[in-house]
Structure 1
């Protein structure tokens, strides 16, 4: 219950600060990614993973197929980074907003600490999790 106001605030910030882009998706035909990602985001209950590369964004639920979204340059605002993307999955439009905030995060299961908190809004579903980044060469 203590997290509800924080989660609602996060949803509001995601929707307020991002816009959608569009392209076509590939499902389970994700090509090997080139080395370093910008961010890797993950969450529990439900388990999900998003990896943001310089040429694509890969989304996957635990046990589910990988879905490839197009990459668009992030918008930076204060201590947050926002990615927006839109694609078609099985013929239906799929919208995703990823907001990464420079705020420490714990995944709640392993108690690992991450330097970023991630808020995801995908097709009306809100996901909350943690993120890490790797330096870009």
Structure 2
């Protein structure tokens, strides 16, 4: 996932956590929830996304991104209104492609994690929740 475009690393991890929750992939929810907490500096949002993205404490830009990502996750068509809403928040058609790419890649990843019965490393549960030990 290139660092071009208008999606931040936290935005991409937000998409991964929300769509992985819909796909019920514990490994990706926990691992990418940890990354989201680190990138966003928000210790709460990943858990809210994992429980129910629609009731999570999202700003309008985040909600527009997830509205599109979740429709892609559910194989629903993207509307012109959704594209316009992304544009209203400074996102463009390339960002829409990135939202679709992240969502699609992790649909595959979720299923592969199921296939291999992957379990999250215990360290992921605390990452971004407690201060790191100084070396």
**TM-score, structure 1 length as denominator?**
0.27
Larger RCO (alpha carbons 8 Å, 6+ apart)? 2
Q: Which has the higher helix share?
A: 2
